[in-house]
Structure 1
Amino acid sequence: MPKVFLRDLTDGYHPAIGDAMAFLGDAANLRPGLRVAIKPNLTFPVYRPGVMTSIEAIEALLRHLRDHGCQVTICEADSGGYNRFSMDQVFLATGLCELAARYGARLVNLSNQDSREIQVRAGWRGLSVPLPRLLIDETDLLITMPVPKVHANTVVSGAIKNQWGVIQDPARRLKLHPYFARVIHALHQALPRTIVVMDGRHGLDRNGPMRGDATQLNWLLASDSVFHADRVMTSLIGIDWRSVPHLRFFARREPAAAFGRIEFNTDWRPFHRANFRLERRWTDAPGWCTFHSRSLAWLGYESPLAAPMHRLLYCFREPFY
């Protein structure tokens, strides 16, 4: 039976994370020397509430893991899609360099790590997806730290989509977007044991993953299942999970418990504090189309027309990065 933990953040992150780990039991069993990787959401060059995992949430988790003697790595790959930026700069700008040094954790840009390719079948296509050996071969426990958001291309972004960022090359991610559900499912199968610690201090409403409205939710969600974490997250922000294609894909291929069969630590309904809605702008249409079509992805990102098409788009909206 999947477990989902919810706690108000009135008293801060640290007590909530400690109680969450205790509730998750064996899935969050920590011991000295356990190799733990933390995957926050760091999808913008500087911190934005509702867009990125807060430094306070990461610090509280680091403190808990240090107290249990774990060997901790904080990791993320370069981001930015078509306008790539270095994660090393984000580590510095957000204060993660100082934080990692203070708690004795490694800080790793996954884009600079050795990779091993996994094979994914998407219809008649065979896809090669490079994943960092650090995660798939050298990690005992992955703790993903997403933020609850709406997303113009995937409807929502949460526990499942956060691992899209472990694909090391942003350009490769763009090419794989049309096969998102199949690739992200195969990716999770290749990753080590994974638990979720979702930073719900703020969520992102109206538009995402970056240009929406930061909305205070003031909760922390933890789970031993990425699917059920997202299943509950969508209920907490008032979105029907069945409207999310990759969640439907997971539900068809994973042992999915009925909502009433999820083991909660408390009643989830008081944590339903907002009804998010996705409002796509017309300027989101090119990104949506390239996300869902390989031929259009090639046209928009790889063809000789890619640069002039982006310049034209930027006449109507600013670049995300």
Structure 2
Amino acid sequence: MTMVATQPLTDTIAITRTFDGIEAAAHRVIAQAGGMASVVKDARIAVLKPNFVAGRSAETGSTTSFALLKAVAEEVRACGAEPVLCETPGTEFDREATYTILGVEKFCEENGIRIARVDPEGGEQDWLELKPSGAKRLRTFHKPKFMQDACYINLPVLKTHVVSAMTLSMKNTMGILPRPDRRSMHTFGIDQSIVDMNLGIKPDLIIVDGSVGQDGEGPLYGDKADLEVLIAGHNSLAVDLACCDLVGIKPRDIPHLKLALEQLGEPAWNVVGENPGLIKQFRLPEQKKLYRFIFWLMYPLDYPYTMLVERGKHFCTTLYGTGLVGNRPQIKEANCTHCGKCVEACPLPNVINLQTLKVNYKTCQRCLLCFEACPENAISVKGYSGLRQA
């Protein structure tokens, strides 16, 4: 097979454990990877791209740790640049509700991080068109205009994914794209589209948050994995391969990594810092054909759907709002004592009605804080992944 690109010279992959705290480890791994000054250079803005796919806390292994973001922002400011957070959650989740559940606004205000709220639906005002040479499926897509002269710092989580098998640095960049482009990625083929996207958007620094990862049915409802590790580098494919080594995954078992190796070539890297070897043997998600088909079908159906509804509405959001699909909490009337702990735990209004014992799936963001807070085991979680079935 003819390769569409060649990998750059040997990358330095820095690995450090977080036994002394995530912030201390983050400062250390940045220094080991060459220092933040070599990343920022003359840029006035450093774009911080965490994984905030939905309102599930970093303690569950679903999202990027605030401690890592804090340390990176400090390093950026020390180099004279402004840290700017840019992230839009999955299409089925609301950005502002996700930020509320996670506490993003307060955290960013306290730590001097500006939030870039680009229009998630695309448009010329906020977005720059990219047409990278060699792309096979995703031949045209967009990135925020303000990133044009900024450095890009990718901060993914080390976790599994029910659709792409693993989500590491190559896939995490997807959260920067507008939702119409993400729809295209799913419709045209997510695995090849991830490779194509990485031809057009290349991070200046990657730090994979493996302080707490997620095993099994990730990226939201898998098993928490206390890996206590950070992995930093500059080449997305090399970083992802190094992450696979730490959790015992064969890269060619991950479809987009297999394609990347075939089309981009195998990168070379040197490990600095620590080399802990296998930390935990990960279990990849079960490939459920029905789930994958339904998940894929939502995206081609979204094309005609968005022509009929108001801007910003999507088929998958409407479908999730029916309560028929996806992981969702349900209240068991026989067990419920009406204590109200679930309502207190929910950061959003108008989600749980204690009188009817119903969950409003149009406003529920599937954070499962109600499930975790219930002292009576009166809430179960239903869904295609089979999570916590009653």
Alignment TM-score, normalising by the size of structure 1: 0.82
Distance 1:201 1:256, change over 3 A: same
Q: Does 1:23 align with 2:28?
A: no
* Cα separation, 1, equivalents of 2:83 and 2:273: 30
Matching of residues 233-272 of structure 1 within 5 Å: 233-257=243-267, 261-268=268-275, 270-272=276-278
Q: Which residue of 1 aligns with 2:106?
A: 98
* Cα separation, 1, equivalents of 2:200 and 2:129: 10
* Cα separation, 2, equivalents of 1:22 and 1:317: 40
Q: Deviations over 1:117-145 (max 9, x none)?
A: 2236765x67432321122x131x21111
Return the letter of the residue paired with 1:289: F
Conserved? CA contact 1:55–1:94, under 8 Å:
no
Q: Deviations over 1:278-306 (max 9, x none)?
A: 23274xx34422566xx7742588569x6
Conserved? CA contact 1:159–1:229, under 8 Å:
yes
Q: Does 1:69 align with 2:71?
A: no
Secondary structure, counterpart of 1:100 in structure 2: helix
| Root-mean-square deviation over aligned CA pairs | 3.1
Conserved? CA contact 2:245–2:277, under 8 Å:
no
Q: Does 1:138 align with 2:149?
A: yes
Deviation at 1:101, TM superposition (A): 2.5
Secondary structure, counterpart of 1:217 in structure 2: coil
* Cα separation, 2, equivalents of 1:217 and 1:174: 32
Q: Deviations over 1:133-191 (max 9, x none)?
A: 122x131x21111111111111100011100111121x541332133233333322322
Q: Does 1:43 align with 2:53?
A: yes
Please, which of 242, 250, 256 is the counterpart of residue 232 of structure 1? 242
Q: Which residue of 2 aligns with 1:154?
A: 164
Number of corresponding residues: 305
Please, which of 289, 295, 303 is the counterpart of residue 293 of structure 2? 289
* Cα separation, 1, equivalents of 2:245 and 2:225: 16
Return the letter of the residue paired with 1:265: V
Secondary structure, counterpart of 1:17 in structure 2: helix
* Cα separation, 1, equivalents of 2:100 and 2:321: 30
Please, which of 181, 184, 202 is the counterpart of residue 175 of structure 1? 184
Please, which of 278, 281, 285 is the counterpart of residue 279 of structure 1? 285
Deviation at 1:209, TM superposition (A): 1.3
* Cα separation, 1, equivalents of 2:107 and 2:55: 17
Q: Which segments of 5 or more consecutive residues in structure 1 lack a partner in the other structure? A: none
* Cα separation, 2, equivalents of 1:26 and 1:162: 22
Secondary structure, counterpart of 1:148 in structure 2: strand
Conserved? CA contact 2:135–2:196, under 8 Å:
no
* Cα separation, 1, equivalents of 2:26 and 2:42: 18
Identity among equivalent positions (%) equals 21
Q: Does 1:221 align with 2:224?
A: no
Distance 1:291 1:228, change over 3 A: farther
Q: Which residue of 2 aligns with 1:3?
A: 12
Secondary structure, counterpart of 1:117 in structure 2: strand
**Greater share of helix residues, 1 or 2?**
1
Return the letter of the residue paired with 1:64: E
Q: Deviations over 1:2-42 (max 9, x none)?
A: 11111110112233222322222278614575421100000
* Cα separation, 1, equivalents of 2:299 and 2:202: 30
Please, which of 67, 79, 94 is the counterpart of residue 56 of structure 1? 67
Deviation at 1:309, TM superposition (A): 7.5
Secondary structure, counterpart of 1:253 in structure 2: helix
Conserved? CA contact 2:159–2:219, under 8 Å:
yes
Following TM superposition, the consecutive aligned residue runs of length 4 or more in structure 1 with deviations greater than 6 angstroms are 306-313
* Cα separation, 2, equivalents of 1:312 and 1:37: 36
